[in-house]
Structure 1
């Protein structure tokens, strides 16, 4: 077991943006604005409503081509939600839920350089397993209540700390905002996954919100008043 780093030498977490289910033109405008700020380091394509529609897989592929091209423009890595085959087709990474396929098989198909994430909820044993199988990061949460997954139970802080003590990058997800992220200061987190706090905003407000995220992350090692 590794010791947690002290706040003074913590690496600054990276912002990990997930798409929502906006109509594609609106989504693309929001993503262009967000990615142009340079704050986003990882982008997940997660389009549940599109996938559930008629010819959803074909529609998702056509959308993903455009989204990946936009991300490439800003040199932002992309992961596909749940779908190893689509990730391989797009030369992207993948994020896998516990029932969405094997991390080991994904690594074999996608190669050593692609980002592969695994949902681990609040289970440290799943974090350890994800590490042993070769995942790039383990996602833990929900941290707070979330509009995306309202039924998810917030994780106990002790379990999050235990996850952070494992030798794998940790991604936190669930209800995270610029205002509440300070409550996680002092933990060696690699990725902070955000959906609603950015994607629920109108296009004209996204750049400012991303700038606020940049400020919050830049102050990660500052002493917390909480």
Structure 2
């Protein structure tokens, strides 16, 4: 009997001021629990000179992740991803997968937001995305107005022969409810990043235990 695949933890940045964010990431990545990191800084982008500021921040985050051999994706920005030599995660209105494939190297991950729509999951697979993100699984503080998806939608998504990433309100406690699904990535924001710096490592280890059990 083969061992079941253990899902990997996929951490997204939050909107903390950069020094605090960096301190949290340094601790989280050092635990060895995080497999993939997404740079998502919507508030920074909205600032004056937001694009330049984001590049400056993302370059530092990518260097930190490289130190721990953790792959990085940039949220919604193919050009920035190409400039930094990392992957990209694309929302439905944020560029197409074929454009990302032209700009990025084959080892740079391309993800696509698919909500609970199986047709979008199939499309992501056909277009050559590396993973399809489904959610919100539960209500979350990060996106309180996001519609949650059904268990059946998740089951159907997992049958489309593309890696599935789930996001939305996931915690080290409620993830047990999804234990039998063949998931590749568990995407987390608030359950780790909203904690104070001195609680981050402990929470990462709780996640590790949850995923291995």
- 2:151: which partner in 1? 157
Select 2:92's aligned residue among 92, 98, 101. 98
Alignment match, 2:66? 72
TM-score (norm 1): 0.93
Shift, 1:9, TM fit: 3.8
Counterparts of 2:200 and 2:60, CA distance in 1:
20
CA distance in 1, matches of 2:60, 2:108: 19
Unaligned runs of 5+ in 1: 1-5, 220-226
- The yes-or-no answer on 1:28 pairing with 2:49 is no
Q: Distance in 2 between matches of 1:42 and 1:113?
A: 13
Provide the C-alpha distance between the structure 2 equivalents of 1:10 and 1:108, rounded to a whole number of angstroms.
34
TM-fit CA distance, 1:142? 0.2
Shift of 1:205: 0.2
CA distance in 1, matches of 2:21, 2:105: 29
Structure 1 partner of 2:119:
125
SS class of match (2:25): helix
1:170 corresponds to which residue? Answer: 164
1:63 maps to what in 2?
57
**Aligned mate of 1:107, from 101, 105, 110:** 101
CA distance in 2 between partners of 1:143 and 1:218 (Å): 20
For 2:80, the equivalent position in structure 1 comes to: 86
**C-alpha distance in 1 between matches for 2:18 and 2:105:** 29
State the Cα distance separating 1:35 from its structure 2 match.
0.3
The question of whether the paired residues in 2 share the 8 Å contact of 1:127 and 1:166 is answered with: yes
For residues 170 and 199 of structure 1, what CA distance do their matches in structure 2 show?
A: 22
Unaligned runs of 5+ in 2: none
Residue-by-residue CA offset, 1:145-164 (whole Å, 9 max, x unaligned):
01111111110100110000
Bigger relative contact order (CA 8 A; separation at least 6): 1
Q: Which secondary structure does the structure 2 equivalent of 1:38 belong to?
A: coil
Cα distance in 2 between the residues matched to 1:119 and 1:97: 5
Structure 1 runs of 4+ aligned residues shifted over 3 Å read: none
Aligned residue-pair number: 213
